[in-house]
Chains A and B, each alone.
Chain A
Amino acid sequence: MKIRKKDGVIGSFEAFCLCNYLIYTKMFLAMPRHLIEEAGPIAWAVPILVLIFSLLFFYILTNLLQRFEDLSFLEIIGELWGSSMQWIIGVLFAFLFLVITAYQLRIIGEFLLSTLLPQTPLSAVLFIMVATFVYLAYFGIENLARLAGLLFPWLLVAFVVTFLLAVGRGEFYNFSPWLGYGEWRLFVSTVNHIGIYKEILLLAFIAPLFRKHQTLRRTGFTSLIFVAFFFFFAMAIYIYVFPVHTGSELGFPLFQLTRLVYYGAFLQRIDPLFMFVWASISIVGMATGLYVSALSLAQGAKASDYRPFLFPLAVILLAIAFYHESSMEAVKNYRLFPAYIAIPFFGIPILAWLWALLFHRQRRQRQ
């Protein structure tokens, strides 16, 4: 099945950018605060430890995809466990991607209201954002990926410059005591955030769009390593500037970091630069989330086009985003559920791989 009628192919760089945006969106929310609260001064190590697991997982995933070249992840599920399971798992992943995107949407909406637009109704912010997601997702992965690729170098420079400018406020001793609250707390934090890079599964949904399996494999590994470096980079600067106790209580941590940049009258108030980075990454990331959700439903139902699902999903997205009464409630749940969401994200592909390994010896070649 094609992902969409007349779908083309996706380039390695564009797919890499898309993965980065989709995964990195969460870093602009409350994640740095949660990490520093759980692991203390060694919170910078969590993204690296999770990376080790994620690389292993992605190796398994590519192994599975290689066995069924030219098939997407859900089509492989259909091949292994039948159409019903393909539909069930398609619906499940559609729901999971939608929930993740909805929570991110709500928290970003609350962020805008808390900082820049205190008088604007939440509904106005969320409706506008969802309309943008639908618009971006409607024109498909190719457009999303090209947009992501076009913006990427600018965002990268702006991101690095903004964060490096905040370094002037930091103290090296903030990284000590070196093991933070101890190895056990570090391990627990790693487990809690095991799903940081779970969205890499996106590549499995669009696998048939890659010209070669090797391109997909290379894109996935590069994305994981690159995005992990930037999780580490932002986290290290956050710890360097904010001691553990202060860093554990800040709303919108990375935004607060950029608001500290002040080098006299001529270099200050660079937070709008950060807002540009943050908004671009988040909007493309969340639009990709909505796209994958619709794609998952379409692939699960073996529909020839994902686009009819976009609008209904957007309505559900808004409904979930509005579900929580307060911002803290949304943040609290968004903190808790990723650890559970990671179970199907990692569990189902690993199970499918084991199944293929044990019961489906016939290799399928790309046509």
Chain B
Amino acid sequence: MKIKSSSLPKAIFLSLLLLLTLLNTGCWDRRELESLAFVLTLGIDQSAIDNQYDFTFRIAVPGNLDPRGGKGTSAEEMPDTSKVVTVTARSLPEAISLLRTSIERSLDFRHLRVVIFGEELAYKEGLLFHIDHLERDPHFRRTIYVWINKFGTARDVFLINMPVLEAFVTRYIEGTNESIRETGYARPIILHDLVAETEEHHVDTVIPLICINPIIEEEKKDGKIVPMPTEKYRESVKDIIGGEQMEHINRSGGNPLEIIGLAVIQEGKMIEQISGWESRVYSLLRDSYRYGTWTFEDPEVENKTFAVELYRSRPPRVEIDWQKEDPVTIDITFFLEGNVRDIQSLEKYISPETYPLLEGVVTKVIAEQTIELISKMQELETDPFYLARFIRTQMLYKQEYIALDWKKRFAQAEVNVTVDFNLRRPGLVIQPMVIPEQE
């Protein structure tokens, strides 16, 4: 068959295209799903050897996953969905290449969801030396969460984790971050936030704290959590209110891990830890708070509480007279709204006339807690709330902003806090139940 001269170039190009489709299948970079080992979580700790670190990897074993998902897991099932491996090396890339010597598949970090740092490393040396690889290597995404173990190593977190419901650790991480978003007991931080806030002037960043609850740690035997007898539990609990202090929550059963509180990070190092209560106030100041349930002492009945579902109605208003001589004055106003969730004392507070009684307690407590937290940070000369953001929006030039010397000025500042709070809804009942004999 004779090919027309005008058809020849088309035939050549068509052949070339066919050839290109073969090449485009990616012979060099082919990545078959069956040949990959997905790392889901990564832990970094100070090693017992000088200048080396313990890198702990949790590698998914997808074959053992139940496709139905969300199915309850027993202690024996959890280890099968993932394996924990620790490598001691000088750096993360070195640890990854050393790990390859014992893993039969290519390591893939595209599904990595969290990096956990040990307390000692975070306090002494800081996190920044390990961040560069996470930013530079295309395997890692800037959306990975960052946590710090409050009282120990990241490796311990890996070894003790026993999610209550999720068989797959990625779902556990997603769910946990959603929970802290909903309760306000911490602020979920991703790698992008950590880098951006570390590089920004006049702000120190925070990282959520995860910790191992010693009561449940004690309950873990042979890979199972067996709740201790009531008598023993009563002996184990401390005289604390959960979330108020840095201590663990009084709890038995469930996952030994709990995520509450924040680490304040300055120049990459952890300089302070703040409790769950303080974290909620932090979130109000940083405007990362959305809603959560708060419990307050009853204004009229001793040792009784009332609970309010508190949500932010508007961003906080912060006025700083930064142009005057030190000390500067910082006026903060929070705009909050709430729904009544519990009146333990059964007092009849639900009416427009008695609402101010409850509202007064809420505004007083939040204002006091805010002043207290700010004073604590002022002593450390750190501003994790990024109050300077309210100044930068009044400035024209970046040079002026850089030269602000904010942290020193913040440390000496006089702070006034106002809480504009309104109770909106009483919930599904109006007044609490009435006991006829007491009427």
Contacts and interface: CB of A to CB of B under 8 A. Distances in A.
Interface of A: 40-41, 114-121, 124, 128, 131-132, 135, 138, 169, 171, 173, 176-182, 242-246, 256, 259-260, 262, 264-265, 268
- Main secondary structure, interface of B, reads helix
Interface stretch (B84-92, B216-224, B266-274, B393-401): B393-401
Interface string B139-150: 001110000000
B392 interface: yes
Given A115-B138, A138-B9, A246 B196 contact: yes
A256 B28 contact: no
Nearest to B388: A173
Interface in B379-406: 389, 392-393, 395-401
Given A120-B29, A173-B392, A182-B398, 6 more contacts: A124-B23, A128-B20, A179-B396, A242-B196, A259-B143, A260-B143
A265 B143 CA distance: 12
Contacts of B13: 135, 138
B143 A128 contact: no
B17 interface: yes
27 contacts: A41-B398, A115-B138, A116-B29, A116-B138, A117-B29, A119-B28, A120-B26, A120-B28, A120-B29, A121-B28, A128-B24, A135-B16, A135-B17, A171-B389, A173-B392, A176-B392, A176-B395, A177-B396, A177-B397, A178-B395, A180-B398, A181-B397, A244-B398, A256-B142, A260-B142, A264-B178, A265-B174
Contacts of B142: 256, 259-260
A180 B17 CA distance: 49
A8 B212 CA distance: 75
B408 interface: no
B134 to A, nearest CB: 13
Interface string B14-33: 00110010011010110000
By Cβ-Cβ distance, the 10 closest A-B pairs, closest first, are A177-B395, A245-B199, A120-B28, A119-B28, A262-B143, A176-B393, A117-B29, A179-B396, A173-B389, A176-B392
B380 to A, nearest CB: 23
B164 interface: no
A321 B156 CA distance: 51
B195 interface: yes
Contacts of B143: 259-260, 262, 268
Nearest to A185: B398
B192 interface: yes
Contacts of A173: 389, 392-393
B269 to A, nearest CB: 19
B321 interface: no
Contacts of B393: 173, 176
Contacts of B392: 173, 176-177
B125 interface: no
A124 B28 contact: yes
Contacts of A124: 23, 28
Interface in B182-217: 190, 192, 195-196, 199-200
Contacts of B138: 114-116, 118
Contacts of A115: 138
B398 A246 contact: no
B162 to A, nearest CB: 22
Contacts of B200: 243, 245
Contacts, number: 82
Contacts of A259: 141-143
Contacts of B20: 128, 131-132
Given A135-B16, A245-B199, A259-B142, A177 B28 contact: no
A179 B397 contact: yes
Given A114-B138, A128-B24, A260-B142, A119 B29 contact: yes
B403 to A, nearest CB: 11
Nearest to A181: B398
Contacts of B141: 259, 262
Nearest to A268: B143
Contact of B23 (A118, A128, A244): A128
A135 B9 CA distance: 10
A116 B26 CA distance: 10
Contact of A177 (B29, B174, B398): B398
A260 B192 contact: yes
B187 to A, nearest CB: 14
A180 B401 CA distance: 10
A117 B24 contact: no
A162 B17 CA distance: 30
A262 B143 CA distance: 7
Contacts of B28: 117, 119-121, 124
A183 to B, nearest CB: 9
A177 B392 CA distance: 5
A188 B174 CA distance: 46
Most A CB contacts (10 A, CB to CB) among B23, B29, B199, B398 go to: B398
Nearest to B395: A177
A93 B64 CA distance: 62
B181 to A, nearest CB: 11
Contact of A118 (B29, B195, B196): B29
A185 to B, nearest CB: 9
A245 B199 CA distance: 6
A162 to B, nearest CB: 15
